[in-house]
Amino acid sequence: MSILKNRDIIIVGQQPWDTAIGSNCKDLAMEFSKNNRVLYINAPLDRRTSLQQRNVESVKKRLRIIAGKEEGLEQVAPNLWVYYPKIIIESINWIKVMPIFRWLNKWNNQKFAKDINVSLKRLNFNDFILFNDNDIFRSFHLKELLKPAISIYYSRDYIIATPYWQYHGEYLEPQLIEKSDLCVANSVFLANYCKKYNPNSYYVGQGCDFKLFKQADDILVPADLSVIKGPILGYVGAILSIRLDEQILLHLAKARPDWSIVLVGPEDEDFKKSELHELSNVHFLGSKGTETLAAYINGFDVCLNPQTINPLTIGNYPRKIDEYLAMGKPTLATKTEAMSIFEQHVYLAETKEDYVTLAEKALIEHSTALANERIKFAHTHTWAKNAEEIYQAINDVESNIISNKN
C-alpha cells in the first residue's frame, strides 16, 4: 500500500469548493488531507462572470473577498484549507488569434500565481506538490511560476471535445500534459491519451462514496416506482442526448413491450421531444433527491447505462456503474475502452440488439452469489484506493527524478 505523508499539496482545477454538485477533486482533497496538508485553490473570478453573474451569491462572496471585506483563506477540515483568490482575471477564450490569446493567458497565469504565493506564505507551504485538475488555461504556466517539487496533471474528462475548450485546448492540453512531471487519469482511455504526450501517465481509477449506495433489506421502493410492472430496466442520472443513446432505449422498449423502461433524472429538450414519451412501457419519473436514488436503483431488475459514443463520452469513467454494482444489481452498459475494467461484472453491449439479448441474460442469470461479487468489486473503487494509486505514481516518478539527478 502506497501512502504519501507529511507533504504539502496544492490543488487547482475546474470546480470550486462551494459547488453544489459532487466533485472528484474535492473528494481527493479530503483523502489527501488525511496524511498531508492540502490547499484547495478555487479558480479566480473572471471579468465576464464578475459582471454577468454579480448577483449570484458565490460571485458576491468572491467580490467581497476581493474588496477585502471577507477572509479568502478558510480552514474547512484538519490539514485542509480553501483559498478564494483576491483577483479578477480577464475573459479571453473568445480571442481566436493564437499569439494574442497565449500572451494574455500567460498574463492571467502570472497574476494567478502571484496571488497563490500569498496564501502559500501564510501557510508556510514548502516543497509542495501541484495537482492540476483539468485546468488547461488558467494553470498552464503554474509549473514554471510556482516551481513545485512535482507537478501532476489529472485527466478525468476528455474536455477538449466540448466547444469551450476545443479551439485553444486542442493544442494547449497536449503541451500541458507533456511538461507535467506526471499525469494521472481516471479512465483507461484518458490514461492512453495522456501517454501519447507523456510516458509518465498512469491509470489510477476512480473513487466512489458508497454511504448511500449499499444493499439493505430496509430500503423501500419509492411509491411512483412500486406501481410500475416488472421486470424494470432502469437508469438514474441526467437524461441528455449528448450522453445517452435514444435509439437503444427505443429499441429495448419496442422489442420487449412486456418490459418497463424507467428513467430517473432531469431531461434535456431533445429527450422531452422523444418518441419514448409515446410508449406505454417507458416511464420518465423526473429529478429526485440524491438521498433517494439508492431506493430507485433498489427497485430495478436491471440497471442501464445506454451511453452514446462520441468524443465527449468515450473516455468517461461512469461512476454510476459503481453505484449500481454496489447495490448488487445486474448492470448493462455500452462497451467502451473506459468500460473495459468492468467487463467481468457488467454486461457490455456493442449494438442496440445486444441490449435486448444481454438484458434477457442478465434477468435469467441474476443470483445472490453474483450480487455479492458485484458488491465486492465495486468496493475496490474507494477514494482511499484512488489516492493510493496516485501516491504510487508520485513515488515512482519522484524516484526516477532522484535517480536521474544522481
Q: Which CATH number is 52's domain given?
A: 3.40.50.2000
For residues 113 and 151, membership in a common domain is answered with: yes
Q: What was the pLDDT predicted at 196?
A: 97
Residue position matching grid coordinates 441474476: 366
Q: What was the pLDDT predicted at 8?
A: 97
Which residue spans within 211-271 are E strands per DSSP?
A: 232-236, 260-264
The DSSP call for residue 316 is: -
For residues 196 and 275, membership in a common domain is answered with: no
* Domain around 81: 8-207+382-405
Number of domains making up the chain: 2
Q: The dihedral of CA 170, 173, 179, 181: what is its sign?
A: negative
- Does this model's pTM top 0.95? My answer is no
48 burial class (0-12, 13-18, 19+ CB within 10 angstroms)?
A: middle
Q: What was the pLDDT predicted at 164?
A: 87
Residue position matching grid coordinates 469513467: 317
For residues 374 and 389, membership in a common domain is answered with: no
Q: What was the pLDDT predicted at 19?
A: 79
For residues 203 and 242, membership in a common domain is answered with: no
3-class SS letters over 82-97:
EECCCCEECCCCCCCC
Which residue spans within 117-176 are E strands per DSSP?
A: 129-133, 150-155
Taking 50 as the pLDDT cut, the residues of the chain under it are none
For residues 195 and 235, membership in a common domain is answered with: no
For residues 229 and 199, membership in a common domain is answered with: no
For residues 195 and 46, membership in a common domain is answered with: yes
Residue position matching grid coordinates 411512483: 224
Coil vs helix vs strand at 376: helix
Residue 196: inside a domain, yes or no? Answer: yes
Residue 217: inside a domain, yes or no? Answer: no
Residue 243: inside a domain, yes or no? Answer: yes
Residue 3: inside a domain, yes or no? Answer: no
Q: What was the pLDDT predicted at 314?
A: 80
For residues 152 and 199, membership in a common domain is answered with: yes
For residues 198 and 240, membership in a common domain is answered with: no
Residue 218: inside a domain, yes or no? Answer: no
Q: What was the pLDDT predicted at 355?
A: 97
For residues 56 and 96, membership in a common domain is answered with: yes
Residue position matching grid coordinates 419509492: 222
Query: What span, in angstroms and rounded, lies between the C-alpha atoms of 174 and 193?
Result: 9
Coil vs helix vs strand at 23: coil
65 burial class (0-12, 13-18, 19+ CB within 10 angstroms)?
A: buried
| Element containing residue 195 per DSSP (H, E) | helix 188-195
For residues 113 and 238, membership in a common domain is answered with: no
For residues 189 and 243, membership in a common domain is answered with: no
Q: What was the pLDDT predicted at 216?
A: 65
Residue 110: inside a domain, yes or no? Answer: yes
